Amino acid sequence: MINRILFATDLSPFSAHTLEHVTNLALHHRARVIVVHAVEPLGGLAQAVAPKFESEAEIRSLLRSIKERILESLTDELSESREALDCFDDVLVRQGRPAEIILKLATELNGDLIVLGSHGPQSMGRNVLGSVTSRVLQLSKVPVYMVPMSTPIPPRSIAPAVSFR
């Protein structure tokens, strides 16, 4: 039985396509959805040229702004169906390696299913699995629903954010 779905998103243009699958699954199974986004650690070069965060408060502020962007996107994409929007319980934005974050949260939150795209826009070719997807498929202890990505769907205009339960 599917009660809790983790929707892993990278905020790419491909995410809207995966969102359609997540929403349909949630409605069909009357499941709750938690959106998961991982902020990749900066590499050596990026650390050298990027401004340093002065405090934990600045890092929390950055993560909050990413969460707000995701909430706005969900609200916009699902604006025509309040029932679909009501399936979403929370958006979790964490720092760390994406596959590790997704797998850890699936365990901690007792996820029944992980939904993610086959690859992000940085992957080359139509049949290539992204590194995050490949790792999640190999290591997950719960079923993984992988959505093949081919052509990105352009996001709709940004609408005001709503709060989830």
Where does the pLDDT of residue 164 fall: very low under 50, low under 70, confident under 90, or very high at 90 and above?
very low
Q: Are 113 and 144 in contact (CB under 8 A)?
A: yes
Where does the pLDDT of residue 136 fall: very low under 50, low under 70, confident under 90, or very high at 90 and above?
very high
57-108 pLDDT, tens digit each = 777 888 899 999 999 989 888 888 889 999 999 999 998 999 999 999 999 9
> For the whole model, what pTM was predicted?
0.80
Domain boundaries, the chain: 4-147
Q: Are 139 and 131 in contact (CB under 8 A)?
A: no
> Per CATH, the architecture of 4-147 is what?
3-Layer(aba) Sandwich (3.40)
